[in-house]
Amino acid sequence: MALQLIIVAIIGITLSGVVGILLGKGFKWEQAITTTIVIISSVLGLIGASIGIFSEATTLKLFYWPTIGGALIGLDGLSAFFLIPVFLIGGLGALYGMGYWKSSEHRDSSQKLQLFWGFLVAGMGLLLIGRHVFSFFMGWELMAISAFVLVMTEDKEEECRKSGLVYLLATHISTLTLFVFFALWHYATGSYVFQPIAEGALQPGMLNALFFLALIGFGLKAGMMPLHFWLPGAHASAPSHVSAILSGVMLKMGIYGLIRVGLLLPTPPSLWGGIILTIGAISGLLGVVFAIAQHDIKKLLAYHSVENIGIILIGLGIAYLGRTYNQPEWIALGMAGCLLHVWNHSLFKSLLFFGAGSVLHSTGKRNLDIMGGIGKKMPTTALLFLIGAVAISGIPPLNGFISELFIYIGLIRPIALGDPNAIGLAMVAPVLSMIGALAAACFVKVYSAVFLGSQRSEDLKPVHESPKIMLIPMGILAVLCVAIGVLPQYVTLVLESVIHQDILLSIVPLKTYSAFSFGFLISIVGLYIWMKFRSKKPKEVLTWDCGYAKPTSRMQYTAASFGNGFAIMFDWVLHSKVHRTKLNAVMPDRVNFESHVNELVLDRLLKPVFRWTQNASSWFGRFQQGASQNYILYILIAVLILMATLVPYKEWFVPFIKN
Amino acid sequence: MIDLIIHMSIYILMPPLLFGIINKTKAYLAGRKGAPLLQPYYDLIRLFKKKMVISGTTTWVFYAGPIVTFISVMVAGLLMPLGQSQAVISFTGDFILFAYLFGLARFFTTIAAMDTGSAFEGMGAAREMTFSAITEPGLFFAFLVFVKLSGSMSLTVMLQRNLYGIINQNGFAPIVMVIIGLAIILLAENSRMPVDDPNTHLELTMIHEVMVLDHSGPLLGLIQYAANVKFFILSSFLCTIILPTFTSDGGLSWVGFLIGIILIAVGVGIVESIMARLRMSRVTVLLFSAFLLCGSALIIFVR
């Protein structure tokens, strides 16, 4: 039943854009109808996935394909768990898009965007229920290619084309790696079906090859360091609701792959868990460090995705190690942290991208250093963005804290119990706390640069609050963030059903915590209201600037100056480039200052390597001049070489060797 | 029940006194008479009676900042045991919540500061956030040491287990390292000398004081009281670790705790009298040393 609902939802979402195209560009209600189909299908999908979480795993043969068997699909707790964000953000994003990317304003691109939005959501749905290489890859490629088209929505801009190309390269490397993975899978198991490999059935070398191929293929999609290079550009160039679904949901397909492979492979060696844990810690730390150095609000949010993928991988690493050392508690806590953070990240990251989109929609700019004071003109967006910012910093009482709490306890509990293998895990806990502190710093920077203070530049368009159709999806996401934060014990039921263990609530006292956070929220609201009522109307004055009577908005601390302390502290990895004009006199002329940070992998490693390869192989170009005589000559040479192999050299040399 | 009443009344009433003690110590060492011991209480009462003056640039965030900070710090204090008296609320993993509640307080203090659009407050906020990124992992390393030593993940058990018995086989060196590290974190988190000078009159050099420049009246009162409580909580953290369990008698152990915490305040006063504030770039080095001390102590204990 659940699976059938999901199939209906996937078909509905796939067809939504087609319906739009059939209705034609001129038709007034075209976007509304398309969006309605997406939303109805999403609701069906959400219902199906919710049933699927709590029911037994099922499989179904979708259709028969003679050469490789059938397209097998299936649903279990894990797939259903990942389907929920797919349909949730798929539906809410389409709704948001109705306000953000109105068909009346974007005539040439709106239909394309709707069509591929549907394909993207459907592709993710299909890969999640795929139980056979065929159905899995159909979904995977549908997702990857439609994401490319969506990133290229604004293909008139050069930056957008460039980052689209980088994304296309990255996603193909990922797909090719997975091709090799599944080919090897077929070689080793004799089947293309996702079936667990028995203990001891394969040699360790083969298992290692399978694992590392999966790590590269899925890790590229997930955007873990150092394979994240495609991510910041692609997410910054796409329209904001597309960035939201790419960042909030599509990255998680890589995580899903890693979890699924982990379930299919037999007991892993400790190396695998260790590597995932280390990559997680590095992604988390460097992701947030690079985020702080950004000036572009969407690039900044994209780097935060790298950070959050890092946190998710830390959780996954604990679970892998738990399987190695046969510790059910580690598996439970690690998986709970990993999975819940998948949900949480899809909620607050989409909320933040929607918020950034509202700002972009209103101001037309993405540069943090010229904004400011927007909170007064867009109060609702500001409040919702603040909820997202607190949630992503992992601060109580919102949802980000709960998933981090699971991971913390997973990391620290072994050392409390005196486990001999605990020290490696425990060492990650301070790293996680540093990630949290840096993320909080970064979001203080973003929030204050955009929404607080006063406007820094006159370039901005007159700012206005976004329409309700954009605010409603954000509101729903914000409510979910708060709900998971204060009522974590109910979400834990979902987690326990997915990971088939019911020890979470006995280890982590979430009921106490829930009561605690309720009291906490009530006292904050209570005190706020009491203070407001009690105090007399305050006198309004200028901001204190050491007695300076005419402060201007350009005297404010900018986002760049806020992040400067971090830029200095982490200069060993950031290498910020600073351009400034020197002060040359007592009364100097106008001076300017500019700083930017290059991407760690793309700008500093890949581009130089590619450029070098191109230069080194340019001499080869002279062989390809386009003159057909030359090509005939090449063919002749090739034929001669081939014929030369027929010459019986061996017989010539044998007499020499014998003598 | 009586213990809880004593606990709560000490928790609510004592924090401002510690600042009185620090100021008195500083005055004494400088050869001045100094303000009365109870001056911080008078200041608070005066602030709560005053009318507010608010910058026209600000929004509701400016108003909510001190309130959230105050509640978070007060609630964090409920998780901390005072000497031999156990914490009001206690559960597995409460130390994580404790650290993150300080994070919440910091988040809202800084955005309230940034709401004014002042360069000075921006500086303070940026510094506060930068330094906290180093003290936070240091604090976690210290927590891990106590988790390892006590085998528990709840602050009351972690800190109250008689550590001197457990650490004998490892020697005293690592626990001394943790205590020095925590003392540095205490000074940094509370913006005391040598990290920040609470008495400076130049906005450019401040951290905590500059963030609250524009707050006035009751809001400033809340901020000051929250700062007092934060100092009290972290001092009692240190005090609970250092103070051995010399008696099972409730009353006597309260006396011991009070003496201990007053001694810490006097110690902070002495440090402030004999040291100058460090250059901002050197502060990072000091905080990293705290981080490394706590981290190395953990490695020694686990090896």
Pick B267 or A598 by higher pLDDT: B267
Establish if A513 touches chain B: CB-CB under 8 angstroms.
yes
Give residue B162's pLDDT band: very low, low, confident or very high (50, 70, 90): low
The answer to whether the CB atoms of B284 and A569 lie below 8 A apart is yes
Q: In terms of residues, how long is chain A?
A: 659
Q: How far apart are CA A308 and CA A353, in angstroms?
A: 14
**Of A288, A295, A291, A335, nearest in space to A313 by CA:** A335
Report helix angle A379-392 to A422-451, nearest 10: 170
Which residue in chain A is spatially nearest to B49 when comparing CA positions? A535
Residue contact A531–B63, C-beta within 8 A: yes
pLDDT digit string, tens, across residues A167-206: 999 999 999 999 999 999 989 888 888 888 888 888 888 9
Residues 6+ apart with CB under 8 A from B71: A520, A523, A524, A527
Instruction: Tell me what pLDDT residue B168 has.
Output: 59
- Identify whether the C-beta of residue A150 lies closer than 8 Å to the C-beta of residue A120: yes
What length is written for chain B?
303
ω into A397 cis (within 30 of 0) = yes
Say whether A426 and B104 touch across the interface (CB within 8 A): no
Report which of residues A454 and A473 the model is more confident about: A473
Distance CA A412, CA A508 (A): 12
* Whole-angstrom Cα Rg for chain B: 19
pLDDT digits (tens, 9 = 90+) for A609-647: 989 998 888 888 887 777 888 889 999 999 999 998 888
Contacts for A480 with CB less than 8 Å, ≥ 6 apart: A347, A399
- The verdict on a CB contact (< 8 Å) between A569 and B137 is no
CB-based contacts of A616, cutoff 8 Å, min separation 6: none
Closest Cα partner for B83 from B264, B257, B258? B257
Q: What percent of chain A has pLDDT over 70?
A: 99
CB contact under 8 A, A531 and B59: no
Look at B140 and A433 and tell me if their CB atoms are within 8 Å. yes
pLDDT score for A423? 84
Q: Name the least confident of A17-21, A395-399, A418-422, A629-633.
A: A418-422
B146-166: average pLDDT: 78
| Minimal C-alpha gap between A454 and chain B (Å) | 6
Residue A595's DSSP bridge partners are A578
A416 vs B151: CB contact, 8 Å cut-off?
yes
Query: Is any Cβ of chain B less than 8 angstroms from the Cβ of A561?
Result: yes
Instruction: Read off the tokens for B152.
Output: 């528990």
The whole-angstrom separation of Cα A379 and Cα A377 is 6
What range defines the domain where residue B16 resides?
A: 2-302
Domain count of the fold of chain B: 1
Reduced to 3 states (helix: H, G, I; strand: E, B; else coil), residue B181 is helix
Which residues of chain B make contact with A379, given a CB cutoff of 8 A?
59
Q: Which residues pair with A75 in a beta bridge?
A: A58
Model pLDDT for residues A527-573, shown as the tens digit of each residue: 999 888 877 777 888 877 777 777 777 788 888 888 888 888 888 88
SS3 of residue A104 by DSSP: coil
Token duo for residue A81: 């768990």
For B149, the closest chain A residue by CA position comes to A416
Tally of CA atoms within 13 A in the half-sphere of A197 that contains its CB? 25
What pLDDT, on a 0 to 100 scale, did the predictor assign at position A290?
A: 92
> Does residue A302 register a pLDDT over 90?
yes
Residue B201 has pLDDT above 70, yes or no: no
User: How far B275 CA lies from chain A's nearest CA (Å)?
Assistant: 24
In this complex, the residue of B92, B104, B115 whose CB is nearest that of residue A395 is B104
Report which residue type is found at B74: M
A 80-109 near B (Cβ less than 8 A): none
Q: Is B286 left (phi over 0), alpha (psi -120 to 50) or beta?
A: alpha
Helix, strand and coil percent figures for chain B, each rounded to 5:
75, 0, 25
Tokens describing residue A642:
């081939």
How many CB atoms lie under 10 A from the CB of residue B279?
Answer: 11
Nearest CA of chain A to the CA of B171: how many Å?
19
Q: What is the dihedral of CA A287, A293, A294, A295, to 10 degrees?
A: 160
Name residue A596's beta-bridge partners: A577
pLDDT at residue number A658: 65
Q: Could B117 and A430 be called an inter-chain contact, meaning their C-beta atoms sit closer than 8 Å? A: no
Is A400 in the B-facing interface, judged by CB distances under 8 Å?
Answer: no
Please answer yes or no on whether A531 and B104 come within 8 Å at the CB atom.
no
CA–CA distance, B26 with A54 (Å, rounded to integer): 65
Please report the residues numbered 421 through 440 in chain A whose beta carbons come closer than 8 angstroms to any beta carbon of chain B: 422-423, 426, 429-431, 433-434, 436-438, 440
- Cis-peptide, bond into residue A226, ω within 30° of zero: yes
Percentage, residues of chain A above pLDDT 90: 49
Separation of alpha carbons A344 and A572, rounded Å: 32
Query: What confidence tens digit (pLDDT) does each residue in B67-125 have?
Result: 999 999 999 999 998 877 888 888 888 999 999 999 999 999 999 999 888 888 888 89
Contact partners, residue A90, CB within 8 Å, separation at least 6: A13, A38, A42, A45, A117, A121, A124, A245, A249
Cβ–Cβ under 8 Å, residues A164 and A234: yes
Q: Which of B260, B201, B252 is nearest to B235 (CA)?
A: B260
Ranges of H-type helices in A101-157? 107-129, 133-151
Yes or no, beta carbons of A416 and B152 under 8 Å apart: yes
A 456-495 residues with CB < 8 A to B: none
* Average pLDDT score over chain A: 89
Contact indicator for B290, B43 with CB cutoff of 8 Å: no
